[in-house]
Amino acid sequence: MTYETDLEYCHDAIKHGSLSFHAASKLLPRDVRESSLALYAFCRVADDEVDLKQDKVTAVQSLIDRVDCVYRGQPRNHPTDRAFAHIVDRHDMPRALPEALLEGLAWDAMGHRYDSLNDLYGYSARVASAVGVMMCRIMNVRDRDTLARACDLGVAMQLTNIARDIGEDALERRLYIPQQWFHDAGLDPEAFLDNPQPRQVIRRMARRLLRDADRLYIRSNAGIAELPVRVRLAIFAARFIYAAIGDAISQNGYDSITQRARTSRLTKGLLVAKSAIYTGHSLIGPSCAMRYAPPLSETAFLVNAAADPAPQTKSWSDRFCDIMLDLKAQDVSASPTP
pTM of the model: 0.88
| pLDDT for position 9 | 86
Q: What value, to the nearest 5°, has the Cα angle with vertex 47 and ends 42 and 51?
A: 150
Amino acid at 13: A
Half-sphere exposure of 271 (CA within 13 A, CB side): 21
| pLDDT for position 337 | 52
Residues 168-227 have pLDDT tens digits of: 999 999 999 999 999 999 999 999 999 999 999 999 999 999 999 999 999 999 999 999
| pLDDT for position 13 | 80
Please state the rounded mean pLDDT for residues 226-252. Answer: 94
Any alpha helices (H) in 91-228, and if so which ranges? 96-109, 117-124, 130-138, 144-164, 166-171, 179-185, 189-194, 200-225
Q: How far is CA 207 from the centre of its chain?
A: 21
Residue 81: which of 96, 100, 67, 98 has the closest Cα? 67
Greater confidence (311 vs 264) lies with 264
Confidence bin at 11 (pLDDT 50/70/90): confident
CA pair distance 1, 234, nearest whole angstrom: 30
Q: Would you tell me how many other CB atoms lie within 10 Å of the CB of residue 232?
A: 21
| pLDDT for position 279 | 87
Please state the rounded mean pLDDT for residues 95-102. Answer: 96
Superfamily holding 110-334: Farnesyl Diphosphate Synthase (1.10.600.10)
Distances 51 to 18, 63, 84 between C-alpha atoms, Å: 15, 12, 20
Residues 57-82 have pLDDT tens digits of: 899 999 999 999 999 999 999 999 99
Share of the chain above pLDDT 70, in %: 87
CA pair distance 143, 231, nearest whole angstrom: 16
Close Cβ partners of 314 (under 8 Å, ≥ 6 residues apart): 322
The residue ranges of every structural domain in the chain are 1-90, 110-334
Residues 181-191 have pLDDT tens digits of: 999 999 999 99
